[in-house]
Amino acid sequence: MADYQLTQTEKVIRRTVDGASIPNDPANRHYAEYLKWVEDGGVPDPYVPPETPPPQASSAQTIAYDHENRIRALEGQPPLALGDFVDKMRP
């Protein structure tokens, strides 16, 4: 892990030791330290986008899902997994 990490925008550098956001401003002493570090051969870690959380079912979808599985139980069918139910409901 490098001392610094690039961010989604070129306007800010992230210092990895404490997570500080350093603005791309030559008058900022922390940014000057970063530039010196790069000049001395430092290579910042690349930007890594955060993982996208899985979509959450809305209240209406959860109610419809529960209702579908109650009907399936009355009909003697196995319950659907939520992902299968959502796929089934897509046009």
Q: What is the per-residue DSSP string for 5-45? A: EE-SSTTEEEETTT--EEES-TT-HHHHHHHHHHHTT--PB
Q: What is the pTM of this model?
A: 0.58
Q: What was the pLDDT predicted at 21?
A: 96
Q: What was the pLDDT predicted at 60?
A: 87
Q: What was the pLDDT predicted at 62?
A: 87
Mean pLDDT of each 10-residue bin along the chain, 91 residues long: 91 95 95 95 94 82 91 94 81 69
